[in-house]
Amino acid sequence: MPTTSEPMLKSELPDLKLYKRGKVRDIYDVGEHFLIVASDRISAFDVVMDDPIPEKGKILTKISLFWFDHLRSLVENHVVSSDPSEYPDPCPSYLNQLQGRSMLVKKARPLPVECIVRGYISGSGWLEYQERGSICGIPLPGGLAESQKLPEPIFTPSTKAEEGIHDENITFEKAVELLGGDMAEQVRTLSLRIYQRGSEYAEKKGIIIADTKFEFGIVDDGVILIDEVMTPDSSRFWPMDSYCPGGPQKSFDKQFLRDYLSSLGWEKKPPPPGLPEEIVQKTRERYLEALERITGHGLEDGP
Q: What is the pTM of this model?
A: 0.95
What is the reported pLDDT for 2? 43
- Res. 222: pLDDT tops 50: yes
Q: At the topology level of CATH, where does 110-271+285-295 sit?
A: D-amino Acid Aminotransferase; Chain A, domain 1 (3.30.470)
What is the reported pLDDT for 300? 82
Region 17-108: CATH code: 3.30.200.20
Q: At 161, is the pLDDT very low, low, confident or very high (cuts 50, 70, 90)?
A: low
What is the reported pLDDT for 198? 98
- Res. 268: pLDDT tops 50: yes
200 three-state secondary structure: helix
Q: Classify the C-alpha dihedral 124-116-21-91 as positive or negative.
A: positive
- By DSSP bridging, strand 207-219 and strand 222-226 are antiparallel
1 three-state secondary structure: coil
196 within 8 A of 203, measured Cβ to Cβ: no
- Whole-angstrom Cα distance, residue 256 to residue 205? 21
225 three-state secondary structure: strand
What are 195-218's pLDDT values in tens digits?
999 999 999 999 999 999 999 999
* CA-to-CA dists, residue 38 to 44, 103, 125, angstroms: 16, 9, 28
Q: At 3, is the pLDDT very low, low, confident or very high (cuts 50, 70, 90)?
A: very low
What is the reported pLDDT for 141? 97
50 within 8 A of 169, measured Cβ to Cβ: no
When pLDDT is averaged across residues 104-119 and rounded to a whole number, the result is 97
Q: Where in the chain is the domain with CATH 3.30.200.20?
A: 17-108
- Whole-angstrom Cα distance, residue 160 to residue 177? 15
When pLDDT is averaged across residues 101-130 and rounded to a whole number, the result is 96
Mean pLDDT of the chain: 94
Percent of the chain with pLDDT strictly greater than 70: 95
Q: Where in the chain is the domain with CATH 3.30.470.20?
A: 110-271+285-295
